[in-house]
Amino acid sequence: MAGALTIARVETFVVALPLRRPHLWAGLAATSGQGYVVLKLALSDGTVGWGEAQTLANWGGDDGNRYGETPVTTRHVIDDLLLPRLAEVDVRNIEVLHAAMARAVRGYPYAKAAVEVAVLDALGRSLGVPIYQLLGGRCRDRVAIAHSIGLMPIEEAVAEAVQVVEEGVRTLKLKIGIDVERDVALVRAVRQAVGDGPALRVDANQGYRTWAEALTAIRRMSDYDIAYAEQLVDGIDELAEVAMRSPVPVMADESVWTDRDVVRIAAAGAAHYISTYYTKPGGLYKAKRLLTVAGAHRMISDVNGSGEMGIGNAANLQLAAAAPEIVLPGTIPITSTAETQRTKRAGRKYLDDIVVEPFHYADGHLSIPDRPGLGIEVDEAKLQKYRVA
């Protein structure tokens, strides 16, 4: 097509950053962050953009209806299935881009999100505007952070909770879903340690076996003033049984990947809140549409993720900037590098990163980058340093 702006070349890398500590949750059999896919994409005008896919083999949706991705599958999908279909697509037409990816292969939203974000990053750089301008404009310039405390011994979780509150975080997310007695003891101990000020939310990652077990846990935890409870069980119907009886609001995460999922959740009364990533729907454009549908059903959201590195974190911040429905504190990392440490523990997943400059953090909030595209620069020397075979 004459005058079209197309994808000229793509490189994919598998990257593993050094962890501050493993971050685990119910049902996760591998440590997150140890083999994510990074995409470097050049357009026909020479502009370069970056994308990231958080490849987790055994994390997905309800009833096994969403499938995990691995570095091998993600690179195969991008290189062998998506790129041939996108060769002639004018990438300025994002709806056409997504339609072409949908025709190429069903599913694999993380691979598709990496491609779409890299395209939007390059387009934003080419036009000299942040990605949020391509999504409808900015409605906030910073986002509150919720620090996620993974599955670990209670005494270690308590110590971390105290430390991150001292670093300014005002919302703590506690991973539960293992055993009711253990989970209640965790919430009690953290509340006693941090006092009444910080908000506590809990996330079971579908871990409870039945809605009745989940309800028992949440009713007992509510004695310690939890703000809301995330994805207690597997399945919209089970989640609805909890939501209609719960003393606190219920959030859906694994149950909500598409705008149609939002409609089903609203119809079933299965959740009061949702949790949105740029990856689960297959990219920023689709995530923005999902959130619009949620807003029409009077549902609010946080911006969440799977321990993103700096590129993925930048994408989630661009989404948070553009979506008015994202009002809850987001469970996304507070990026640091070896040279520039924003925090010691709060929100910190990795000891280094492949972005040159981490995002500004103050008073429990990350600032939205306002430079073109994702608003980041990638340190390609570190990309090579942390690249894995």
Q: Are residues 295 and 174 in the same domain?
A: yes
Q: Are residues 176 and 79 in the same domain?
A: no
Residue 305 · residue 312 · CB < 8 Å: yes
Q: Are residues 52 and 195 in the same domain?
A: no
Q: Indicate the SS3 state at residue 43.
A: strand
pLDDT band with cut points at 50, 70 and 90 for residue 34 = confident
On whether residue 2 sits in a domain, the answer given is no
Please choose, from the candidates 6, 26, 27, 39, the residue with its C-alpha nearest in 3D space to the C-alpha of residue 309. 39
On whether residue 111 sits in a domain, the answer given is yes
Strand residues in the chain grouped as ranges (E): 7-16, 34-43, 48-53, 142-144, 146-149, 171-175, 199-203, 226-230, 250-252, 273-276, 300-303, 361-362, 365-367
User: Would you state the pLDDT for residue 276?
Assistant: 97
pLDDT band with cut points at 50, 70 and 90 for residue 27 = low
Over the range 338-347, which residues count as b (16 or more CB within 10 Å of their CB) and which as e?
Answer: eeeebbebbb
User: Would you state the pLDDT for residue 244?
Assistant: 97
Residue with tokens 């952070």: 145
Average pLDDT of 137-155? 95
pLDDT at residue 1 tops 60: no
Report angle CA 37, 38, 39 to the nearest 5 degrees: 120
Q: Are residues 162 and 30 in the same domain?
A: no
Average pLDDT of 4-18? 96
On whether residue 90 sits in a domain, the answer given is yes
| Residue 201, phi then psi, degrees to nearest 5 | -125, 155
Q: Are residues 61 and 112 in the same domain?
A: yes
User: Would you state the pLDDT for residue 64?
Assistant: 78
User: Would you state the pLDDT for residue 33?
Assistant: 73
Average pLDDT of 109-122? 98
Residue 228 · residue 249 · CB < 8 Å: yes
> Could you tell me the residue range of the domain that residue 179 belongs to?
134-374
Residue 119 · residue 97 · CB < 8 Å: yes
Q: Are residues 124 and 138 in the same domain?
A: no
pLDDT above 90 covers what percent of the chain?
90
Q: Are residues 119 and 141 in the same domain?
A: no
245 CB burial (10 A radius; 0-12, 13-18, 19+): middle
Residue 86 · residue 100 · CB < 8 Å: yes
Q: Are residues 149 and 234 in the same domain?
A: yes
On whether residue 1 sits in a domain, the answer given is no
Q: Are residues 48 and 154 in the same domain?
A: no
Decide which of 58 and 26 is more confident. 58
Q: Cβ contacts of residue 321 below 8 Å, gap of 6+? A: 130, 132, 138, 139, 140, 141, 143, 368
pLDDT band with cut points at 50, 70 and 90 for residue 23 = low
- pLDDT per residue over 161-208, tens digit each? 999 999 999 999 999 999 999 999 999 999 999 999 999 999 999 999
On whether residue 21 sits in a domain, the answer given is yes
On whether residue 238 sits in a domain, the answer given is yes
Average pLDDT of 335-351? 96
- pLDDT per residue over 42-84, tens digit each? 999 999 999 999 998 887 788 878 888 999 999 999 999 999 9
pLDDT band with cut points at 50, 70 and 90 for residue 2 = low
User: Would you state the pLDDT for residue 10?
Assistant: 97
Q: In total, how many domains does the chain have?
A: 2
CATH (domain of 112): 3.30.390.10
Q: What CA–CA distance (Å, rounded) separates 380 from 40?
A: 10
Q: Are residues 179 and 299 in the same domain?
A: yes
Residue 178 · residue 204 · CB < 8 Å: no
Check the CA dihedral 223-304-241-238 and report its sign: negative
User: Would you state the pLDDT for residue 28?
Assistant: 61
Average pLDDT of 209-236? 97
Q: Are residues 140 and 14 in the same domain?
A: no
Q: CB atoms < 10 A from the CB of 268, how many?
A: 17
CATH (domain of 335): 3.20.20.120
Q: Are residues 167 and 263 in the same domain?
A: yes
